[in-house]
Amino acid sequence: MGQIQLINISGVLVRFFISRPFGRFTDRHSYVRGIELALTIAMVAFGCNMFSSPSLPWFIIVYTVLYNISGAGTAQNMLNITYGYVDSRYFVQASAIKRCLSGLTGFLASLLSGKLLAFIQENGNTFFGLQVYGQQVQSCVSLLLVIAAFIFAELTLNRQKVMIQ
Measured distance between the N- and C-terminal CA atoms of the chain, rounded to whole angstroms? 48
The whole-number pLDDT of residue 157 equals 81
The whole-number pLDDT of residue 45 equals 96
The whole-number pLDDT of residue 159 equals 77
The whole-number pLDDT of residue 164 equals 64
The whole-number pLDDT of residue 36 equals 94
- 3-state secondary structure labels for all residues of the chain: CHHHHHHHHHHHHHHHHHHHHHHHHHHHCCHHHHHHHHHHHHHHHHHHHCCCECCECHHHHHHHHHHHHHHHHHHHHHHHHHHHHCCHHHHHHHHHHHHHHHHHHHHHHHHHHHHHHHHHHHCCCEECCEECCHHHHHHHHHHHHHHHHHHHHHHCHHHCCCCCC
pTM of the model: 0.87
Closest by CA to 73, choosing from 28, 31, 43, 44, is 31
CB of 73 closer than 8 Å to CB of 19: no
The whole-number pLDDT of residue 165 equals 63
The whole-number pLDDT of residue 67 equals 95
**Per-residue confidence in pLDDT tens, the chain, 165 aa:** 788 888 889 889 999 999 999 989 988 988 899 999 999 999 999 999 999 888 888 899 999 999 999 999 998 888 888 888 888 899 899 999 999 999 999 999 999 999 999 998 888 887 777 788 888 999 999 999 999 999 999 998 877 776 666
The whole-number pLDDT of residue 127 equals 74
